[in-house]
Amino acid sequence: MDELIAKLKTQIIEQLNLEGVSPDDISPDDQLFGEGLGLDSIDALELIVLLEKNYGIKIENPAEGKKIFATIRSMAEYITSKGKA
Amino acid sequence: MKAYIRGIGQISPQQTFAGDFLENVVAYNTNMMFCIDPVYKEFINPLQLRRMSRTLRMGVTAAKICLLDSGIEMPDAVITGTGFGCIEDTEKFLLAMLNNNEQQLTPTAFMQSTHNTISGQVAIMLKCKEYNSTYVNRGFSFETALLDSLMLIEEGNAHKVLLGGFDENSVNLHVTTERLGHWKKEKINSLQLLESKTPGTISGEGATFFMLTDKEDENNYALLKGFSTLYKPEDEKEVKLHVSDFLKRNNLSAGDIDLVVYGLNGDVRTDDVYYHLRDNLFNQTAGAYFKHLCGDYYTSSAFALWLSANAIKKQVIPESVRLGKAPSGVLKNILIVNHYRDINYSFMLVSQC
């Protein structure tokens, strides 16, 4: 899990062009949206594509999105649960 | 139609963003130029910055510098002109479509690939819900934006207009247009552009914003007194006739012009028209040129307007742009003569306020 979390951090920083942010700056339990990392709806779309492109996972039910993308840990758990880690 | 230039902001291959009026020019040994980037974080919120492409950063920063320079916080209109728009994002999006077989496309590059991204972003940044328009007319893009700005001011529909011209260079764009013979095959010292008697020129880029207003003010740079365009003239004589008529319409003659800024770009195929004009109409008038500093691009006439407005305000013609002797006396009237690939000709008359 730790390895996947580290990988996700790097991928998110790269995909969302988080300038000046290093993997160590992000805690796996930080909220990605709102108060935490401050991501927005466009970033959400980028994350959906990231999951599809890098892990072959399609989010079929949009209602799940809020839960899956809450934190990096929740993303990693979801990927693991789909057997794609 | 006329308007005062109240404020200016420019990002270019020179250090123009820092208030340097071409005192320390940068030479390039190349056939393509890119802008010198300021520290964008000083101008744009980091959260917004991370998503912005290079041209968007350039445009928004030039607009911000212009707004600060003018002391005007909220314009009545935002109008921009661009030949290629945000070409790098367009390339990025199209490449992603190709590489991913039209699947898994991310939204950011697509959103920002539209030509009106910069005017839109400036409006969002200012929360400006007024008139907002972007013109894409190849070598007349900046000119059409200028025309719209002047018409808005003339008709009293706007009193302060934020006008911008921008285009970005990219390796893909350069290589593609190089095949069409636009650029020099050899790399040259940019400051010796006019000495290279070969076909083609140097590709360039830039983002320039002006705050135009109908109000007289001691802080105004200059008065944009007249403006005219000419499409595909038959020959050099037609250009000369057009310039004479243009001056006459503005109650001036060639002798009233203190400086002519020519759009000379070192292309042996298309520079003759400038030399013909100089030798036959302005042989007693000082000249200047600018494309050795910014390269050639669809909206490069905005660089010439930046140069002229600064020259009028500061009463200085930087040595790096002089073509022959420097003018003596007060700089009252500057005529800009520019063409893009011998197709789109524009003429601007910039006068002392």
B37: region left, alpha or beta (phi > 0 left; psi from -120 to 50 alpha): beta
How far apart, in Å, are the Cα atoms of B13 and each of A43, B206, B321? 32, 7, 14
Q: What is the pLDDT of residues B157-167, one digit of tens each?
A: 999 999 999 99
Contact flag B106-A15 (C-beta cutoff 8 Å): yes
Tokens of B324: 């022959």
Q: What's the pLDDT score for residue A37?
A: 85
E strands present in chain B: 3-11, 29-30, 77-81, 131-135, 160-167, 188-189, 206-213, 222-231, 259-262, 286-289, 322-323, 333-340, 344-351
At residue B181 the predicted structure's pLDDT band, cuts being 50, 70 and 90, is very high
Cα–Cα separations (whole angstroms), residue B174 to A1, A61, B83, B163, B192:
46, 44, 14, 26, 20
Query: How far, in Å, CA of B68 to CA of B87, rounded?
Result: 28
Same fold, B3-213 and B225-351: yes
Torsion of CA B193, B163, B15, B49, to 10 degrees: -120
- Residue B336 binned pLDDT confidence (cut-offs 50, 70, 90): very high
The CATH fold of domain B225-351 = Peroxisomal Thiolase; Chain A, domain 1 (3.40.47)
Nearest to B49 among A19, A52, A53 (CB): A19
Question: Looking at CA atoms only, how far is residue B106 from chain A in angstroms?
Answer: 6
- The architecture (CATH level 2) of B3-213 comes to 3-Layer(aba) Sandwich (3.40)
Complex ipTM tops 0.85:
no
Query: How confident is the model at residue B326, as a pLDDT?
Result: 83
pLDDT value at position A21?
A: 87
A42 interaction partners in chain B (CB closer than 8 Å):
51, 107-108, 111
- The full set of domain ranges for chain B reads 3-213, 225-351
Average pLDDT score, chain B: 96
Q: Which residue of A has its CA nearest to B53?
A: A17
By CB atoms closer than 10 A (0-12, 13-18, 19+), residue B293 is buried
Separation in Å, CA of B105 to nearest CA in chain A? 7
Please say if the pLDDT value at position B278 is more than 90. yes
- Mean pLDDT throughout B194-218? 97
Q: pLDDT-based confidence at B303, cuts 50/70/90?
A: very high
Q: Do B50 and A19 touch (CB under 8 A)?
A: yes
B108/A42 Cβ within 8 A: yes
Is B47 close to A38, i.e. CB distance below 8 A? yes
Q: Give the pLDDT confidence score for residue A38 in this predicted structure.
A: 86
Give yes or no for a contact between B229 and B281, defined as CB atoms under 8 angstroms apart: no
> Contact, B97 vs A49, CB < 8 A?
no
Domains contained in chain A, CATH given: 2-18+30-81 (1.10.1200.10)
- Supply the pLDDT for residue B106: 86
Closest Cβ opposite residue B104 in set A17, A42, A49: A49
Chain B nearest C-alpha distance from A46 (Å): 6
Q: Which residues of chain B lie closer than 8 angstroms to A45, CB-CB?
A: 106-107
Low-confidence ranges of chain A (pLDDT < 70): none
**Cβ contact (<8 Å) for A46 and B108?**
yes
Residue in A18, A45, A49 closest to B50 by CB: A18
Q: How confident is the model over B215-239, as pLDDT tens digits?
A: 999 999 999 999 999 999 999 999 9
Q: Residue B197 in contact with residue B323, Cβ under 8 Å? A: no
Alpha-carbon torsion angle B295, B301, B302, B306, nearest 10: 90
**CA of B100 to nearest chain A CA: how many angstroms apart?**
9
A-chain CB neighbours of B100 within 8 Å are 53
Instruction: Give the residue-averaged pLDDT of B326-346.
Output: 95
Judged by CB atoms closer than 8 Å, whether chains meet at B107 and A45 is answered as yes
Contacts of B51 in chain A (CB under 8 A): 16-17, 42
Distances (CA, A) of A4 to A56, A64, A73: 15, 20, 9
Q: Look-up: residue for tokens 């302005």?
A: B282
- Percent helix, strand, coil in chain A, to 5, is 60, 0, 40
Task: Give the residue with greater pLDDT, B13 vs B1.
Answer: B13
Q: Report the residue of A14, A40, A53, A54 to disrupt the B interface, i.e. the one with the largest count of B CBs within 10 Å.
A: A53
